[in-house]
Structure 1
Amino acid sequence: MLQAEIKSLFKEDISILIKIPNSSKHYLCDCGEASLLTVKEVQSVSAVFISHTHIDHFSNFDGIFRHQIGSGEKVVICGPKNIHQQIESRLKSYTWNLIDENTIEYEIREIVSEEEINIYKIRPPLWNLELIKTQDFLFEDEYVNVDFAILDHKTHSIAYLFKEKDSVSFNENGSEFKKGKWISELKSAFEKNEEGKQIEIEGIVYEASELFHLLTRNEGYKLGVIMDHAAEEGNYEKIKTVFGNADMVYIETFYKDEDREFAIMNHHSFASASGKIMKECKVKEAVPVHFSRRYTESDRLEIETAFYKAFRED
């Protein structure tokens, strides 16, 4: 199951680390201050997901790549329109005369629209952007698929949904056969929908479809991160489309209900609004995050109380 950890302390700018169980691979959502983020964790980040480039979500990007330089790895960076130009500018603002081109490679995925993702490559020491291709999906690796929604925050703000790959389990109690390599062959046939594939068990050949009843598909865990967005219906329709029935969602809850006028003015959400949309999405668990620095700890408790009341009330 995917695990998320908030790496920012209260009154620090937001940064959330997503970990894959039994793997050293991590994903990082936003690059605000992150006092709890270790160098080892940064060096294990294989992909960075930027919601938008307001300073409180992007200011620590330099600190992140500071600890990635020298890894020799390719790191994927996903973000809103023009993210490639902003990263290029950040990288070119430093002197790199002691760094060679094999030190690191960034693959930048610019989200232009729901169907248009531009892929760029950028490497030291010159950090010149190279457009590689355009594709219609954002991110997939051996562990997750990542879907997204483009929300309005008076700029594009990308909300991300990480969906763990489905797994297939073998019903040992429902089988009269001895265990063997045939189980992995059957799982492979099931995943590839190869109903006619021949599976030999104890000297007898079966078609895979005859044995599919011994398997169960387990839907992957769905974890969402929704950052800054205006509390308005257009955003909510997009959120419901992507995040419906998610297992866990971390959602921006910048203002108290009594300060909703500031929320409207600054295109942010507020406590009960964030809780209500999570309820409408029928998510299993939801966590309010990213509060205004104006608030005290008691204000934070007030926000959380209003959020969970809206999220859980019948």
Structure 2
Amino acid sequence: MLQAEIKSLLKEDISILIKVANSGKHYLCDCGEASLLTVKEIQTVSAVFISHTHIDHFANFDGIFRHQIGSGEKVVICGPKNIHHQVEARLKSYTWNLIDEKAIEYEIREIVSKEEINVYTIRPPHWNLELVKTQNFLFEDEYVNVDFAILDHKTDSIAYLFKEKDTVTFHENASDFKKGKWISELKTAFESNDADKEIEIEGILYKASELFHLLSRNEGYKLGVIMDHAVDEINYQKIKSVFINADLVYIETFYKDTDQEFAKINYHSFASASGKIMNDCKVKQAVPIHFSRRYTEDDQQEIETAFYKAFRN
């Protein structure tokens, strides 16, 4: 199951680490200040997901690549329009005369629209951008698919949904057949919906469809991160289209309800609004995050109380 850890203290800028259980795979959402993020964790991050490049979400990017350089790995960076130019500018602001071109490779995926993702590569020591292709999906690896919504924060702010790959379970007590390689063949046919595939068991051929009742599909865990966004119906329709029935969502709750006029002016959300949209999405578990640095621990408690009251209706 996917696990998430907030790596920022109360008055620090936001950063969230997402881990795949029983693997060394980590993903990072936003690059704010993060006192709790270790060097070892940074070095196992294979993809960075930037919501937007306001300073409180992007200021620590230099610290991240400081501990990735020299790994020889390819690291994916996903973010809003122009993220490739902003990463390029950060990298080119340093001197790299002692760094080999194989020290690292960044693959930058610029989110232009839901259907248009521009993919760039950039490598040391000159850090020259190369447009590789344009694709219609954001990110997929052996563990997760990542969907997204482009929200309005007076600039594009990307909300991400990490969905674990579905798994298939074989119910061994549902038949008297002996175990064998036929089980993996059946799972493959099931996953590809190949009902007519012939499966041989103990010398007898069966159509895969005759054996599908021995399997069940387990839907992957869905974990979302929704950063800065204005409280408006267009944003909420986009959130509902992606995050409906998610298992766990971390959502920006920058202001107290009593400060919702500031939220409106600054295109942020406030406590009860974030709680309500999570309720509307039928999210199983929701966590308010990213509070204004003006607030004390008592203010945070007030935000959380209002949020959960609205979330639990």
Written as runs of structure 1 = structure 2, the 5 A alignment for 1:114-193 is: 114-193=114-193
Q: Which amino acid aligns with 1:163?
A: K
Matched, 1:210 2:180: no
Q: Which residue of 2 aligns with 1:262?
A: 262
Once the two structures are superposed, residues 131-181 of structure 1 have per-residue CA deviations (whole angstroms, 9 ceiling, x without a partner) of: 001111111111111110000000000000011111000112212111122
Q: Which amino acid aligns with 2:96?
A: W
Q: Which amino acid aligns with 2:84?
A: H
Q: Which residue of 2 aligns with 1:293?
A: 293
Tell me by how many angstroms 1:122 deviates.
0.2
CA distance in 2 between counterparts of 1:3 and 1:175 reads 35
TM-score when normalising by structure 1: 0.99
Written as runs of structure 1 = structure 2, the 5 A alignment for 1:41-60 is: 41-60=41-60
TM-score when normalising by structure 2: 0.99
Written as runs of structure 1 = structure 2, the 5 A alignment for 1:203-242 is: 203-242=203-242
Q: Which amino acid aligns with 2:51?
A: S
Q: Which residue of 2 aligns with 1:93?
A: 93
Q: Which amino acid aligns with 1:134?
A: T
CA distance in 1 between counterparts of 2:22 and 2:206 reads 34
Once the two structures are superposed, residues 94-124 of structure 1 have per-residue CA deviations (whole angstroms, 9 ceiling, x without a partner) of: 0000001100000000001111110000000
CA distance in 1 between counterparts of 2:301 and 2:175 reads 52
Q: SS of the counterpart of 1:292? A: coil
The Cα RMSD (Å) is 0.6
Q: Which amino acid aligns with 1:127?
A: W
- Extract unaligned runs of 5+ from structure 1: none
Once the two structures are superposed, residues 261-297 of structure 1 have per-residue CA deviations (whole angstroms, 9 ceiling, x without a partner) of: 1101111000000000000000000000000000000
Q: Which residue of 1 aligns with 2:275?
A: 275
Q: Which amino acid aligns with 2:253?
A: T
CA distance in 2 between counterparts of 1:32 and 1:210 reads 53
Q: SS of the counterpart of 2:309? A: helix
CA distance in 2 between counterparts of 1:175 and 1:139 reads 38
Q: SS of the counterpart of 2:4? A: strand
Tell me by how many angstroms 1:198 deviates.
1.5
Q: Which amino acid aligns with 1:224?
A: G
Matched, 1:197 2:197: yes
CA distance in 2 between counterparts of 1:169 and 1:125 reads 48
Moved over 4 A (4+): none
Tell me by how many angstroms 1:202 deviates.
1.5
Aligned residue-pair number: 313
Tell me by how many angstroms 1:234 deviates.
1.0
Q: Which amino acid aligns with 1:240?
A: K
Matched, 1:4 2:36: no
Q: Which amino acid aligns with 1:206?
A: Y
Q: Which amino acid aligns with 1:157?
A: S
Once the two structures are superposed, residues 231-266 of structure 1 have per-residue CA deviations (whole angstroms, 9 ceiling, x without a partner) of: 111100100011111111000000000000110111
CA distance in 2 between counterparts of 1:175 and 1:110 reads 50
Tell me by how many angstroms 1:34 deviates.
0.8
Q: SS of the counterpart of 2:238? A: helix
| Deviates further, 48-57 or 166-175 | 166-175
CA distance in 2 between counterparts of 1:191 and 1:237 reads 31
Matched, 1:110 2:119: no
CA distance in 2 between counterparts of 1:250 and 1:119 reads 27
Once the two structures are superposed, residues 60-102 of structure 1 have per-residue CA deviations (whole angstroms, 9 ceiling, x without a partner) of: 0000000000110000000000000000000000000000110
Q: SS of the counterpart of 2:287? A: strand
Q: SS of the counterpart of 2:95? A: coil
Q: SS of the counterpart of 1:146? A: strand
Q: Which residue of 1 aligns with 2:65?
A: 65
Q: Which amino acid aligns with 1:217?
A: R
